[in-house]
Amino acid sequence: MVSLEELEHAQNAIGDFGGDNRAGIEGTLHRISAIKSRKGLIIGLTCRVGRAVSGQIDMVYDMLQYEKSILFVGRPGVGKTTVLREIARVLSDEFHKRVVIIDTSNEIGGDGNIPHAAIGGARRMQVTEPSMQHKVMIEAVENHMPEVIIVDEIGTAAEALACRSIAQRGVMLIATAHGQQLENILKNPTLSDLVGGVETVTLGDGEAKARRSQKTILERQAPPTFEFLIEMRQRHYWVTHQTEKSVDILLRGKSPQVEVRTRDKKFKVVIERSKSYDECEA
């Protein structure tokens, strides 16, 4: 237990909290989140220690060379933001891409005007209010000529639409979204557009008979914004989808073939191809 005086002292040391009730410590990757009373008084703090951990990029390095958009999903704490940070560094420093990070909570590049060295030569755009994230995403494309945009926590329909607009302009997207598996995104009406969206289609009698299906079926509405989707089920157990193929097969009620990426006892990356999705570990 802590006293209100201790919380007040911590708040004075941290400074102002943003519209998402988050704050950082300048020069670090740490994040402080506030719990407020109905009157707006801070009555609790959650401190999340952020570290620039290297060595995760080999799990996805080969996929970066395709220059296709990648969406990461997974439970909180599995390492999604850490992966984004390292991808930003590798794409800017090794692939020599123009990388812009949309850093809404200053969690990727740290707090303060000078971003943390962990993002390498990538540029970072801060966001004044979380609700403005989608506008800053479009601003980045229109004003700063990025080849890659990196954004954490896609969570609204406006942000999903901004992602589609960016992808249609030929910019590579690396992002995370709320959800643990592809099916969570597919069934989420706010975010399903990221993987192509879902629409109801009524088939004619002949077509339904040829497909051996009902007359009313679900189909993918459009090309997915992200060509690849990676489920980070554990820190070292990733399930990789070719989004378009997996979505189409899931909508037919079948199990798609996926790639499973793990590490062996020597910490080397092991890639198991053509594994049935329903056989993957939870």
Residue 48's Cβ-count burial label (10 Å; 0-12, 13-18, 19+) is middle
- pLDDT at residue 55, as a whole number: 76
DSSP state at residue 64:
H
15: pLDDT strictly greater than 90? no
Together in a domain, 239 and 273: yes
Q: Which of 169, 171, 170, 227 has the alpha carbon at shortest distance from 194?
A: 227
Together in a domain, 220 and 251: yes
Together in a domain, 115 and 18: no
Together in a domain, 32 and 73: no
Helices and strands, counts by H and E, the chain: 8, 14
Together in a domain, 196 and 97: yes
CATH code at position 168:
3.40.50.300
pTM of the predicted structure, to 2 decimals: 0.90
Give the chain's domain count.
2
Task: Note down the domain range covering 34.
Answer: 4-48
Q: pLDDT tens for residues 109-147?
A: 999 899 999 999 999 999 999 999 999 999 999 999 999
Together in a domain, 30 and 81: no
- pLDDT at residue 218, as a whole number: 86
Together in a domain, 160 and 142: yes
Together in a domain, 67 and 143: yes
Q: pLDDT tens for residues 23-66?
A: 888 888 888 999 999 998 899 999 988 888 877 899 999 999 99
